[in-house]
C-alpha cells in the first residue's frame, strides 16, 4: 500500500477505523473468526468481539458456519449508490449493447478522489480477461478513461488532481510527468477522444470518449482490447467512432433529467 494521498487533517475516529479494517479484511477473506481477525489486525480478541457484535447487529456482517462474511445488505447499498449517481440504467444499457456489438470489453468510469472508478463493465464474447472490477480505482494518468475524464474537468480541478499525482510507470509507455500529461490532455480535447496505447497494461489498448452534460463531464466510456486486434488505424477509426457515438447516446438520454 502506498501512503494514502487523500489525507485532509481533522480528527479521525479510531473505533470506526477498526470497524472498517475488519470489513476490509472480511472483504478479502471471508469465513474467518474472532481470533484470526484479532491476530491479523493486532487487536485483542475482546475488542474485535465487540466490533463483530456491533456489525452483526447492523446486518453488515453475517455469521456463517464458524466465521463471518459480509452481509447482503451491501447489495442493497450498492444499488442505492448506483441510483444516486443518476442515469445508471442508461449507461448500463449502452455499455452492454456496445460490448455485445463489438465483442470486446466496454467500461464506464467516473472520477472520484482523483482516480477513475469503474461504474459499469461489460465483456463481449472474445473479450480479454482484465483485473479491473466495478467500483475499484485506477490512476488517471495511465488509463484512457482517466485521461479523457481529466481532459474535460474544470481547469482548477485538473491542477488540483495533477498536483497530488504520483506517476508510477506501469509499462514502458506510461506517462511519467505533468508536461507529458498536459500535452496529452490537449490532444484529447482536440480530437475528442482519448487513447491508451499499452500505458496501463502491456498488450492492451483502449479508446475513450467523454460523456458530458451541459459542459460538465459526467464520466467516460471506453473499449478495451489486445493490441493485435486494436491497430492504430482501427483505434483512431471505427473504434473511436463506436465510443463517441455511444457517449452521444448517453448524453442525449441524460440531457433532460
Binding residues (CB under 8 A) for a copy of itself: these are 4, 6-8, 10-17, 19-20, 23, 27-28, 30, 49-51, 53-60, 62, 69-82, 84-85, 110, 112-113, 117-119, 133-136
Ramachandran quadrant class, 61 (left: phi over 0; alpha: psi -120 to 50; beta: rest): beta
Out of DNA, a copy of itself, none, what residue 57 binds, judged by CB under 5 to 8 A for its kind, is a copy of itself
Nearer to DNA, 15 or 79 (CB): 15
Find the binding residues for DNA in span 63-102 (CB under 7 A): 66-67
User: Which residue's C-alpha cell is 490532444?
Assistant: 187
Query: Which stretch in 9-17, 124-132, 135-143, 205-213 sits in contact with DNA by CB under 7 A?
Result: 9-17
Q: Which ranges constitute the DSSP H helices of 29-72?
A: 34-41, 45-57
As given in the structure block, the three cell numbers for residue 74 are: 451491501
What span, in angstroms and rounded, lies between the C-alpha atoms of 28 and 44? 21
Nearer to DNA, 66 or 179 (CB): 66
Nearer to a copy of itself, 16 or 172 (CB): 16
Out of DNA, a copy of itself, none, what residue 71 binds, judged by CB under 5 to 8 A for its kind, is a copy of itself
Min separation Cβ 71 and DNA, Å: 16
What span, in angstroms and rounded, lies between the C-alpha atoms of 146 and 138? 8
Supply φ then ψ for residue 167, to 5 degrees: -80, 110
| Bridge partners for 61 per DSSP | 70
Nearer to a copy of itself, 26 or 175 (CB): 26
Query: Which stretch in 41-49, 82-90, 162-170, 229-237 sits in contact with DNA by CB under 7 A?
Result: 41-49
Could you tell me if 112 and 150 are in contact, meaning their C-beta atoms sit under 8 angstroms apart?
A: no
Out of DNA, a copy of itself, none, what residue 30 binds, judged by CB under 5 to 8 A for its kind, is a copy of itself
Min separation Cβ 8 and DNA, Å: 8
User: Which residue's C-alpha cell is 492492451?
Assistant: 204
Please report whether residue 13 would count as binding DNA according to CB under 7 A: yes
Which among 79, 36, 39, 34 has a CA at the least distance from the CA of 55? 34
Nearer to a copy of itself, 33 or 226 (CB): 33
**Cα–chain-centroid distance for residue 147?**
13
Helix H, strand E, coil C: the string for 70-85 is ECCHHHHHHHHHHHHH
Out of a copy of itself, DNA, none, what residue 163 binds, judged by CB under 5 to 8 A for its kind, is none
> 134 exposed, middle or buried (CB, 10 Å; 0-12, 13-18, 19+)?
middle
Find the binding residues for DNA in span 20-39 (CB under 7 A): 33-36
As given in the structure block, the three cell numbers for residue 233 are: 488505424
Q: Considering only residues 47, 97, 213, 254, which one is a binding residue for DNA as defined by CB under 7 A?
A: 47
Residue numbers of the site for DNA (CB under 7 A)? Answer: 9-11, 13-16, 18, 33-36, 42-47, 49-52, 66-67
Amino acid at each position: 500500500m502506498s501512503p494514502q494521498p487523500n489525507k485532509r487533517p481533522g480528527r479521525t475516529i479510531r473505533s470506526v477505523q477498526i470497524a472498517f479494517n475488519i470489513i476490509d479484511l472480511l472483504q478479502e477473506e471471508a469465513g474467518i473468526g474472532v481470533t484470526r481477525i484479532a491476530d491479523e489486525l493486532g487487536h485483542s480478541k475482546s475488542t474485535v468481539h465487540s466490533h463483530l457484535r456491533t456489525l452483526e447487529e447492523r446486518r453488515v456482517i453475517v455469521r456463517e458456519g464458524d466465521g463471518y462474511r459480509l452481509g447482503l445488505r451491501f447489495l442493497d447499498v450498492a444499488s442505492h449508490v448506483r441510483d444516486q449517481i443518476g442515469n445508471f440504467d442508461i449507461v448500463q444499457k449502452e455499455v452492454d449493447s456496445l460490448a455485445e456489438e463489438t465483442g470486446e470489453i466496454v467500461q464506464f468510469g467516473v472520477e472520484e478522489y482523483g482516480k477513475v472508478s469503474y461504474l459499469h463493465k461489460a465483456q463481449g464474447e472474445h473479450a480479454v480477461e482484465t483485473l479491473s472490477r466495478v467500483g475499484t480505482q485506477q490512476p488517471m494518468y495511465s488509463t484512457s478513461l482517466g485521461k479523457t475524464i481529466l481532459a474535460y474537468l474544470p481547469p482548477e480541478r485538473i491542477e488540483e488532481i495533477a498536483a497530488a499525482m504520483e506517476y508510477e510507470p506501469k509499462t514502458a509507455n506510461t506517462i511519467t510527468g505533468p508536461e507529458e500529461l498536459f500535452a496529452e490532455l490537449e490532444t484529447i480535447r482536440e480530437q475528442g477522444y482519448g487513447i491508451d496505447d499499452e500505458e496501463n497494461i502491456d498488450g492492451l489498448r483502449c479508446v475513450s470518449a467523454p460523456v458530458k452534460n451541459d459542459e460538465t463531464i459526467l464520466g467516460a466510456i471506453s473499449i478495451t482490447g489486445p493490441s493485435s486486434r486494436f491497430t492504430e488505424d482501427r483505434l483512431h477509426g471505427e473504434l473511436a467512432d463506436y465510443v463517441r457515438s455511444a457517449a452521444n447516446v448517453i448524453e442525449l438520454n441524460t440531457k433532460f433529467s
